[in-house]
Structure 1
Amino acid sequence: MSSFLYSLGRRAFAARKTVLLIWLLVLAVAGGAAGLLGKGMDNSVTIPGTEAQQALDRLAVTFPQTSGASAQIIAVSPQGVAEPAVRAEVDRAVEELKGIRGASVISPYEKDLGGSTSADGRAGLIMIQLEGEVSTIDQPTKDRIARIASDLRERLPAGSQASHGGPLFAQNFPGLSIIEALGLVVAIVVLMITLGSFLAAGMPLVNALVGVGISMTLIFVATALGPITATTPLLSLMLGLAVGIDYALFILSRHQQELAGGSTPQEAAARANATAGSAVIFAGLTVVIALFGLGVAGIPFLTTMGVAAAVGVAIAVLVSVTLMPALLGFAGDRLRPRARRKRARTGGGDRFFAGWVRAATRFPLVTVLVVIGALGIATLPAAGLRLALPDAGALPQQDPARVTYDLVSEHFPKGFNGPLIVTGNIVTSTDPLGLMADLKTEIERLPGVADVPLATPNPTADTGIVQVIPEGSPDSEQTKQLVDEIRSLRGHFQQTYGIDIAVTGFTAVGIDVSAKLGQALVPFGVVVVGLSLILLTMVFRSIAVPIKATLGYLLSIGASMGIVTLVFQDGWLADALNVTRTGPVISFMPIVLMGVLFGLAMDYEVFLVTRMREEFVHTRDARAAIHTGFVSSAKVVTAAAVIMFAVFVAFVPEGDANLKPIALGLAVGVFVDAFVVRMTLVPAVLALLGDKAWWMPRRLDRALPSFDVEGENLREELALADWPRPGSDDAIACQGLRLTEPSTGEPVYRDVGFAVARGGVHVVRGADEPAISALLLTLSGRLKPDAGRLKVLGHVLPARASAVRSRVAYVDTGEGGAEAVRRALAEKPAVLVLDRTDRISDPAARREIRALLTGPRPTVVAGTTGLAEVHDVLPATGSPTLSELHGSTAAVPGVVSGSIR
């Protein structure tokens, strides 16, 4: 990966105008497609398989008048709505509403049909039922209802009110305000302080805006394929801006470090792309996987949201590793830090972060206990977190639907804002009207029921509905308990009346959504935590570091959920953050927060701890590695976290009500994870563990794939570019190769060194057949040595093992014979490795192999326990060279040991 990114960085730097033009064309094409194909956002929420949704789907067929979108208009008059002048205007509004195509309207004066007036007679509700779901109701229909309500308000006597609302208007489409731009302003300031120039600070913003522009337009294009909630593009925007700026910052910061070390601008850009770009890809991969993991919940709208955000992050990564090198090409040498300013700026920063890490590690046990205690206390409120889908009560106070919601709550039982519908199949009943009356009587007696205004069969008398008004608000625990109580009576109604009931309606759907999301948290958490352990073990080659990182992530999640609970549910600082109504938090906040914060937490862990590991590998001094690694990376991590925090927190004051809790949770989570967990707790834990922090069982180390985040393999390739000699074109060159047995620690082979020219033939001979096989597997890129230098076909191993494996054929001739050699040669490998040639007992097979290798051939390396056995299978032309393995040690560590005659 690092080698590929190095090459990509050099090419993008050289072809900077072309790269920039390509991305601008992609942005233009995506924007044009969005304009042509986009169908707008959809805020309806459905979850297939839940009881409420299944019942609603059945009603759409059997009783469509009750299954579609609903709205309401409330009229309030000091004289009372029964006053003739008031009633005349309300009746006029009802007649106007009946003129809307597909609308069923119930006047507040039609008590037998479910019409409602308040107990004091001052308020009346006009109920409007439309055909089709909320997402299918067009804007002209909504506008006409709003206009009728406005006209009614103007016609009513002075001091009266009229307002429209209900589920049809419960959610508005979120937009952007000038407040969100403050996050970008903070980002610019932080970037200028970190990078030292306005030119450098502008590059990450350009990088992020290009990525966000493409991802946002693709979301609007995707609306042609299916419904997408209006929160989806805002979440993608929020994440895309944050990671786009941060990923570019990591690459740009490394570029400046390479320039300061004396590299040319193109070489610096290539190396920055290879090293920081590798970390960016790993960090982006963790975010993408976590966002795709939202599909674990099995909820379509949440899966769509996760996929869209994941695509946005993936685009941010792709833009960062291609567009950033191109932008660095335009800047040229102007980003090279001036020596005096660099020393002054770096010195002050180094002293600050050196003091920070000394304070965190001076008494590490105290630091660990204080941090865990503080975050544990912050987590406690999360135990009382309640989840619900937002209704009109979460809208801004001046919104007509919110005004209606508040007026209904003031003059009616709160449940009028979210009535329940109890439905059942009554096709077997001989007295459907009597049956519905009996159901109404039974339900009216239940605790928590304020009213049952309607109980009726449909015109074909095969389905009945009972409208139930709870005493509590739609998102209250009291209403949830009522839904559970009615559902618990299913057996009773089946036995007594022979019908199977179901509870549905907007409120019941919301309750089921919240319940299903709550049930998904544990499996999703297991997936995320398990994923973090595996990925971090691959990166850090350690057992303790991944466990510590995962536990730190859980602390961050707990603290962020605790703060969200305090603000949005308990009302702490609600006015300061413009939270217009406290109560349950939006249902999908915890699972989105867990997914996104997981990726961001792993970002900080990778960028901070990989430097510490690099220092430990070089010095073997665990404590010094903590200090050196921390000081060298803390500045960039701090800048990245501040930018993330600024972008997220900017969406809180004026943001969409659905997005506010997520934005605050992410802002708090980023702050806690970066500054409290990664930059305070992590150094203290590593100081406590010492060398044990980097221990890993040898067998596990070999079993797990390696992910070179810091580009160490590239540095090795660059260092060995002229090895074993400048201009060398050897097919194979090795020196000091060593491999040990994991279980015993005994050497399999050691101090192996030789070179094989391209097109040459080389024999490895020894008494220990497993040692020979191990060496040949190493040479073919299929086994990783413990130490030494090895280049095959110009590729450094084990860094470029995949490239070597694709060009080197390994054949166990003792098993496959001549046929296996023929198949291998058909693939035209550059190197052919023949193992166990002494096991070929058939003379004809030996002659056939010899014939296959005579004439044009690849480089050949053969393994044997005796020269006589291998002689018959080698080409008749050429002069093979020899290396001997005595026991587990190569007898001759030089380049060529001799030749077979």
Structure 2
Amino acid sequence: MSPLLYRWGRTTALHPWRTLAGWLVVAACVFAAAATFGGSTQDDWNVPGAESQRGIELLRDHLPDAGNASANIVVHDDRPLAEPVLASLGERLQDVAHVARVSPPRVSDDGHTAVVHLAYDAEVTHPDLMGDVEPLEQAVEATRDAGYQVELGGDQPSTASAPIKGYGELIGVGAALLILLIAFGSAVVAGLPVLVAVAGLAAGSAGITLLAATTDVSTSAPMVASMVGLGVGIDYALLLVSRHAEFLAQGHAVEEAAGRSLATAGRSVVFASLTVLISLLGLGLAGLPTFSTFGWATAIAVVAVMLTALTLVPVLCRFAGRRVLARGLRRGQAPTARPLTARWAERVTRRPVLWALLGTTVMIALAAPVLDMRTWPQDDGSQTTEATTRRAYDLTAEAFGPGANGPITVVVDHATVSPSRVTAISGTLIGNDDLVSVSPAVTSPDGAVSVLTAEPAFGPADARTSDLVEDLRADLPAGVEVTGQTPLFADIAEMLSHRLWLVIGFVVAVSVVLLMLVFRSVVIPLKAAAMNLLSIGAAYGVMTAVFQWGWGASLLGIDHAAPVSSWVPILIFAILFGLSMDYEVFLLSRIREKWLDTGDPTGSVVHGLSASGKVITAAAAIMVVVFLGFASEGDLVVKMLGVGMATAVFLDATIVRMILVPATMTLLGRWNWWLPAWLDRALPQVDVEGGEPSLVPSR
């Protein structure tokens, strides 16, 4: 790979205008294909294999208006509600597109609150329904104008309750420019990586549009892809530019420096992107279509920014010439002091035991709250009070009890259970102390199913909900399905909690094998995996403390504690494990290069941290700001993703890379690079940045 990357880097630098024109032509073709053949994002919220899904399918087959999207219109006033007001509202709601049924208003005992339930004839992910509450807003406008408080709840309004505003990307780009300018003292080094990352991300977005033409791509997938693609794109370009500047400072011509930077740092970029891709593709093992599309969409973004970095960085470095160097180096001034990272590395390697114990203690302390972490999918009750869905949730709970926000639907399949047993099934439900009410059974027009609705004594996110669903399924005979949004959420929470370990096992195992190939060591990959898991565990712990315990939640605009969203742990693991391996490859490749050159285990650690520390620190700082930018969004799940990933990247770039890695590598010495002879013969020979610089071809 090294000679190929060297020739590619040197050729692109020698012919910058041709290369740039070629990239623009390819990009234009991709954009044209996306415009011509591309599709639109489309969510798929079905959960294959979940017990609740069977009940939902029965409802869709025999009672479509009971198994598709729904909405609750909550009307409240300080005085008893007038019946004509509710009747007029119901008539307007019946005219809303895709509304199949408008239930009679359910009025509270004091008459101050009413809930009108709407049933749609299509799934909530239908393009006409997903994220569009304007028809409902128009229907309730007259009621609001009459002075009544009207709030929208249910799964259809929830799809538009907290729209993504896109601040994360803007904050990330601005922060990247500022951080790089401060860290490297060059406007070119600051702007070039950002320009490359944005260009690659644009191409990746077109690729995601093409993906949407072949399969359902979640509406949230482009946001996740942008979050990761922007971060890794800046990382990859920054690594290449900084290595190019090193060779330039050593006296090499611009085109020679470009070739050498791709032959060395370019290999790091390739293998780092492979580790990210492995982690992302592990999302497919989660068992949910949404996660699979997250993985594929983000993988497209990563590949796009990686190829763009390998192509455009040499070109832009050729245009920039010696301006990639700091002003003092351009004037021929020698550095006045050793890098701070070198002095720090020497301090850690002098007392490795102390620093290893200190770093491990901090990480374990931060990870400790994870032992109390409880997961539950996001519902309306977890949103900010600025959202109409949250206000509808609170009004409903106050007027009818917390269980009114999480009713449980019981579907009796008469192909298995006789209609005569429906009364006994209703009696079983009434006898459950955790249920406060059970509706009379309703039989479908074709007589195939009967449906009962039960309200729990507690809200859907209550810790007792999963046990209630499990107990009901154990008490009811075969052929009776316990379904609805609340049981579906319970199934999702259980499924993802079990699948998390499958995803972790796959990603860790494949990543260890890849690192073993790259670094010819057994110890290095195992240690890297352990430290990455430690940083992710610490991120889980911080999320638990902030969101579930409520520590500092008000700073994020959250007014109450909530369980960690079930969607978050797997998604954070897949993304962060790949990003952590990015930094691992960047650092260890420089350490291994010096190790092969000198055979000095401690000196190679000091050199590697000195050479890559500034790049890793700057790249991580950018990532942290990008992720915190997403934490500013209104959606709780996006906030959790932002806080969790910012925490993990910060800890990984500071405590792990700057303390634990140099301390443990100093303690292990030559054992870092131990590989049994039989395994060395069995593994293919793969090199990242190891080897003498002289081995890089000069022409």
Could you tell me the TM-score, scaled by structure 2's length?
0.94
In the TM superposition, residue 39 of structure 1 has moved relative to its aligned partner by 5.2
Deviation at 1:179, TM superposition (A): 5.7
Give the corresponding residue for 2:372: 384
Do the aligned partners of 1:378 and 1:563 also contact (CA within 8 Å) in 2? yes
Out of 624, 631, 641, the residue aligned to residue 645 of structure 1 is 624
The corresponding residue for 2:455 is: 469
Q: Does 1:212 align with 2:212?
A: no
Q: Tell me the residue number matched to 2:609.
A: 630
Note the C-alpha offset of 1:36. Answer: 5.1
1:183 match: secondary structure:
helix
1:225-258 Cα deviation digits (max 9, x unpaired)? 3332222101000111000011000000010001
Match of 2:549 in 1: 570
Q: Which residue in 1 is equivalent to 2:164?
A: 175
8 Å contact kept, 2:101–2:119: yes
Residue 279 of structure 2 is matched in structure 1 by 290
Shift of 1:375: 1.0
- Give 1:521's aligned residue: 500
CA distance in 2, matches of 1:345, 1:69: 68
CA distance in 2 between counterparts of 1:622 and 1:573 reads: 43
Task: Give deviations 1:312-370, integer Å, cap 9, x for gaps.
Answer: 1111111111111111222234335555578879554x342233223322222222222
Cα deviations across residues 623-682 of structure 1 (Å, max 9, x unaligned)? Answer: 222222221221111111111112111111225433221221111111111110121011
* Alignment counterpart, residue 151 of structure 1, candidates 134, 138, 142: 142
Matched, 1:64 2:35: no
**Is 2:582 the counterpart of 1:592?**
no
CA distance in 2, matches of 1:485, 1:693: 52
AA matched with 1:92:
S
User: How do residues 672-687 of structure 1 correspond to structure 2 at under 5 angstroms?
Assistant: 672-687=651-666
Would the aligned equivalents of 2:528 and 2:584 in 1 still touch at CA under 8 Å? Answer: yes
Amino acid of the structure 1 residue aligned with 2:142: D
Q: State how far apart, in whole Å, the 1-side matches of 2:300 and 2:166 are.
A: 24
Taking structure 1 as the reference length, the TM-score comes to: 0.74
Cα deviation code 1:132-182 (max 9, x no counterpart): 101226259843322222222223xx5x42222211111227423446422
Q: Is 1:98 the equivalent of 2:86?
A: no
* Deviation for aligned residue 1:457: 1.2
Residue of structure 1 in register with 2:535 after alignment: 556
Structure 2 CA distance for partners of 1:317 and 1:428, relative to 1, 3 Å: closer
Deviations 1:549-579 (A, max 9, x none): 1111111111011011111211111121223
Deviations 1:37-83 (A, max 9, x none): 555434452111211112211221122121111111111122223xx
Equivalence for 1:399: 387
Alignment-derived partner of residue 265 in structure 1:
254
Q: Which residue of 1 aligns with 2:19?
A: 19
Kindly report which structure 2 residues correspond to 1:459-498, keeping only aligned pairs within 5 A, or say none: 459-490=445-476, 493-494=477-478
> Aligned partners of 1:351 and 1:270: how far apart in 2?
25
User: 1:463: Cα distance to partner?
Assistant: 0.3
Q: 1:465 to 1:347 in 2, by over 3 A?
A: farther
Corresponding residue number in structure 1 for 2:116: 126
Q: Deviations over 1:572-609 (max 9, x none)?
A: 11121223553122222111111111111111112112
- Farther-moved stretch of structure 1 (678-687 vs 464-473): 464-473
Match of 1:654 in 2: 633
- Comparing both chains, which one has the higher relative contact order based on Cα–Cα distances under 8 Å and sequence gaps of 6 or more? 2
**Pairing partner for 1:444 from 430, 443, 453:** 430
Q: 1:805-840: CA deviations, max 9, x gaps?
A: xxxxxxxxxxxxxxxxxxxxxxxxxxxxxxxxxxxx
Structure with greater helix percent: 2
Q: Number of aligned residue pairs: give it.
A: 697
- Note the 1:113-262 alignment, pairs <5 A: 116-136=106-126, 138=128, 142-155=133-146, 158=147, 160-172=148-160, 174-178=163-167, 180-262=169-251
Say which SS state the counterpart of residue 502 (structure 1) adopts: strand
Q: Deviations 1:724-773 (Å, cap 9, x if unpaired)?
A: xxxxxxxxxxxxxxxxxxxxxxxxxxxxxxxxxxxxxxxxxxxxxxxxxx
Matching residue of 1:808: none
Residues 448 and 482 in structure 1, CA contact (< 8 A), matched pair in contact too: yes
The answer for the alignment partner of 1:319 in structure 2 is: 308
Give distance in 2, aligned partners of 1:538 and 1:15. 34
Tell me whether 500-509 or 146-155 shows the greater mean CA deviation.
146-155
Larger proportion of strand: 1
In 2, the alpha carbon distance for the partners of 1:342 and 1:194 equals 19
Closer, same or farther: CA 585–44 of 1 in aligned 2, 3 Å: farther
Q: Which moved more, 1:278-287 or 1:563-572?
A: 563-572
Q: CA deviation at 1:428?
A: 7.0
SS of aligned partner of 1:658: helix
Establish whether residue 310 from structure 1 lines up as the match of residue 299 from structure 2.
yes
Q: Distance in 2 between matches of 1:149 and 1:339?
A: 66
SS at match of 1:447: coil
Alignment check: 8 A CA contact 2:593 2:692 kept? no
Q: Does 1:609 align with 2:592?
A: no
Whether the 8 Å contact between 1:292 and 1:303 is mirrored in structure 2 is yes
Give secondary structure in 2 for the equivalent of 1:136: coil
> How many angstroms does 1:714 deviate by?
7.2
Change (3 A) 1:343 1:646: farther
Provide the residue aligned with 1:796 in structure 2. Answer: none
Going from structure 1 to structure 2, the CA distance change for 1:596 and 1:177 (only over 3 Å counts) comes to closer
Confirm or deny: 8 A CA contact 1:382 1:558 kept in the other structure.
Answer: yes
- Residue 416 of structure 1: how far off its partner (Å): 2.0
Deviations 1:372-428 (A, max 9, x none): 122111111112222222222344432322221222122222222232211121257
CA displacement, residues 755-806 of structure 1 (integer Å, 9 cap, x when unaligned): xxxxxxxxxxxxxxxxxxxxxxxxxxxxxxxxxxxxxxxxxxxxxxxxxxxx
Distance 1:104 1:131 in 2: 5
- CA distance in 2: counterparts of 1:117 and 1:346, whole angstroms: 77
After TM superposition, give the deviation of residue 30 of structure 1 in Å.
4.0
Contact 2:74-2:152 at 8 Å conserved across structures: yes
Return the offset for 1:97: 2.1
User: Match of 2:343?
Assistant: 355
Deviation at 1:95, TM superposition (A): 2.1
Structure 2 unmatched ranges of 5 or more? none
* Change beyond 3 A, Cα 1:17–1:27: same
Q: How big is each residue's C-alpha offset from its partner over 1:13-33, in whole Å with a ceiling of 9 and x where there is no partner? A: 233223323333444444455
Native 8 Å contact 1:16 1:329 kept in 2: yes
Matches within 5 A, 1:789-804: none
Aligned-pair CA distance for 1:510: 2.0
Check 1:217–1:419 CA distance in 2 against 1; reply closer, same or farther (3 A cut).
farther
8 Å CA contact retained: 1:259, 1:337:
no
Structure 1 residues 222 and 612: CA distance shift in structure 2, 3 A: closer
| Residue among 398, 416, 419 paired with 1:410 | 398
Letter in 2 for 1:601: S
Distance 1:714 1:363 in 2: 31
Residues 290, 596 of structure 1: 8 Å contact kept: yes
The alignment partner of 1:487 has SS state of helix
Distance 2:150 2:324 in 1: 63
What corresponds to 1:811 in structure 2? none
Cα offsets for 1:824-878 (capped at 9, x unmatched): xxxxxxxxxxxxxxxxxxxxxxxxxxxxxxxxxxxxxxxxxxxxxxxxxxxxxxx
When residues 648 and 346 of structure 1 are mapped into structure 2, their CA distance, relative to the original with a 3 A threshold, is farther
